[in-house]
Amino acid sequence: MKVLVIRFSSIGDIVLTSPVVRCLKLQAKAEVHYLTKEAYGTLLSHNPYIDQVHLLKDSLADLWEILLEEDFDFVVDLHKNLRSWNVIGRIRKPYGTFSKANLAKWLMVNLKHDILPDKHIVHRYFEAVRELRVSYDGAGLDFYLDPQTVRPLASLHEYSVVAIGGAHNTKKLPPSKLKELCNLIRSPLVLVGGPEDKEAGAMIAADLPHITDMTGQVSIAGSAALIRDARLVITHDTGMMHIAAALKRPIISVWGNTIPDFGMYPFYPDNTFVTSAIFEVGDLSCRPCSKIGYQICPKKHFKCMNDQDLEAITMKANEILSEN
C-alpha cells in the first residue's frame, strides 16, 4: 500500500502528525509519502518511517505530474483545508481525514461555551486512518535529527532552554516579562528563537551573565539539538514545545490567548513519567480570544500574559531542576 500524508505547516502541527506516520509504516506496512511546504522539509527528511517527502514550493501545479505518477492507494489529509482538498480531488483515491473541532472552538472563543472534545489532536488525527485499521501505539511523538547534527555550544552543560518565540505575539510573554523570569531562574539558560526574535533575545540576555542568547543564530535543527540535551524547556504554545515533547524533555509551557483544552498541550508516550507543567491565567472572561492568536491583545490589557505568576513558574523550574 502506498499512502500520501498531507500536512503543509507548521512546525508543531507537523511534529504532531508523527505518530500517524509511524503507525502507518509499522502497522499497515505502507510506503509512506509526505506532502508539506518546502520550508518544513527538514522536519521530515530524517524520519525513518517516511519513504519520500514531496515539497510544495510556489504552486501545487508543479507537483501534479509527480503526485499522479505515484498512483497512491490512500490519502491521509491531516491539514483539511482547501489546498489539501484540491490534492484529494486531483488524485481521486480513497482518503481519510479528521475533525478539526472548529465549531467547538468557535463556541469557546466567541461564546465561552465549552463543548471541546476531551481528546488530544494526536488522537483526533488517527480518525484519518481508521479505515486502514491503524491505531495509536502509545509511543508518543517522533522527531529525528540528522545524525551529523552537532549541538551548538557543545561545551555548555547543565543548562535549560527558554524558547522565546511564537507565531503570534499574544502567545508570547512580553520581552520584559521573559527577562524578569530569566533573572529569577539563576541556573544557566539558553535562549532559542528565530531571526524575528533577535531583538528580544538581546534585550533579555543583556546584563544577565547566566544567559546565552542563540536567537536567530541556529536553524530549527540547531534549536532541537539544544533542546535535546536541556535539563528543562520553558516555552510558549509553539512548535518548540512539541519538539521538546518528542524529545521527552521536561517542559514548562506558558499559555496566553490560547488554551490547552484546544487539544495541543505537550504529548508524551503512555506510561512515561516526564514532568510537564502548564501555566495559564485562569478566570479571564476574554480568554481564549482566538484559536490561533493576534499580534496585539484585542482588549489592550494582555492580562493572559502580563498576569502570569513568574514566581510560581520559577519555583516549578527549580523543583524540576532539583530532580534532574
Q: What is the pLDDT of residues 45-84, one digit of tens each?
A: 999 999 999 999 989 999 999 999 999 999 999 999 999 9
Domains 2-132 and 160-323 share a fold: yes
Nearest CA among 60, 58, 109, 106 for reference residue 82: 60
Report the pLDDT averaged over residues 242-265: 98
Query: How would CATH label the architecture of 160-323?
Result: 3-Layer(aba) Sandwich (3.40)
Report the pLDDT averaged over residues 163-174: 96
Q: Of all residues in the chain, what percent carry a pLDDT higher than 90? A: 95
Please determine, for residue 324, whether its predicted confidence score (pLDDT) is greater than 80: no
Report the pLDDT averaged over residues 168-182: 98
Please determine, for residue 143, whether its predicted confidence score (pLDDT) is greater than 90: yes
For residue 213, what pLDDT is reported?
98
Report the pLDDT averaged over residues 252-263: 98
CA 192 to chain centre: 14
**What number of other Cβ atoms are within 10 A of residue 312's Cβ?**
11
Please determine, for residue 275, whether its predicted confidence score (pLDDT) is greater than 80: yes
Q: Is residue 313 within a helix (H) or strand (E), and if so which, with residue range?
A: helix 310-323
pLDDT confidence band for 17 (50 / 70 / 90)? very high
Name the residue with cell 510506503.
31
Top CATH class, 2-132: alpha beta
For residue 259, what pLDDT is reported?
98
For residue 178, what pLDDT is reported?
98
Report the pLDDT averaged over residues 121-129: 98
Please determine, for residue 296, whether its predicted confidence score (pLDDT) is greater than 80: yes
Separation between Cα atoms, residue 211 and residue 213, nearest integer Å: 6
- What are the domain boundaries of the chain? 2-132, 160-323
